[in-house]
């Protein structure tokens, strides 16, 4: 009886491992889709925004202004927008709000 149970578990183990691997691949694809949520258009310059000035305003109260401006600049270049104010207001720029780091944290300040 015990050996039959062990044999069943040994047969189910590879199936479980494959299911876990597929689930991880699915999560990776969803993360990539969230990061690449920038609308594509035929226009080479979708919107003109001065990312330097926009991020300067966004990061003016940051305790680490250089790090904030660098992250904000990356997000601004990809999304062509920066939310108003020094924090929050992500609803005005969903692309900026949905961009995450590899660790799953918000990339954009």
pTM: 0.55
Instruction: Name the token pair of 107.
Output: 């990339």
Residue whose token pair is 């199936």: 15
Instruction: Name the token pair of 7.
Output: 């044999």
Read off the pLDDT of residues 38-81 as tens digits, 9 standing for 90 and up: 454 444 445 689 999 999 999 999 999 999 999 999 999 999 99
Q: Tell me the CA distances in angstroms from 2 to 9, 34, 70, 76, 89, one per residue in order.
A: 11, 47, 60, 61, 60
| Cα 57 to Cα 63: distance, rounded to the nearest angstrom | 14
**Residue 93 and residue 28 in contact, taking contact as beta carbons nearer than 8 Å:** no
């Amino acid at each position: 009886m015990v050996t039959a149970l062990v044999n069943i578990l040994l047969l189910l183990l590879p199936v479980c491992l494959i299911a876990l691997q597929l689930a991880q691949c699915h999560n990776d694809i969803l993360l990539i889709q969230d990061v690449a949520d920038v609308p594509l258009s035929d226009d080479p310059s979708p919107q003109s925004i001065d990312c330097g000035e926009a991020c300067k305003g966004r990061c003016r109260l940051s305790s680490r202004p250089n790090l904030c401006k660098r992250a904000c600049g990356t997000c601004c270049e990809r999304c062509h927008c920066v939310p108003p104010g020094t924090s929050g207001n992500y609803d005005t720029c969903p692309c900026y709000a949905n961009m995450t780091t590899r660790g799953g944290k918000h990339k954009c300040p």
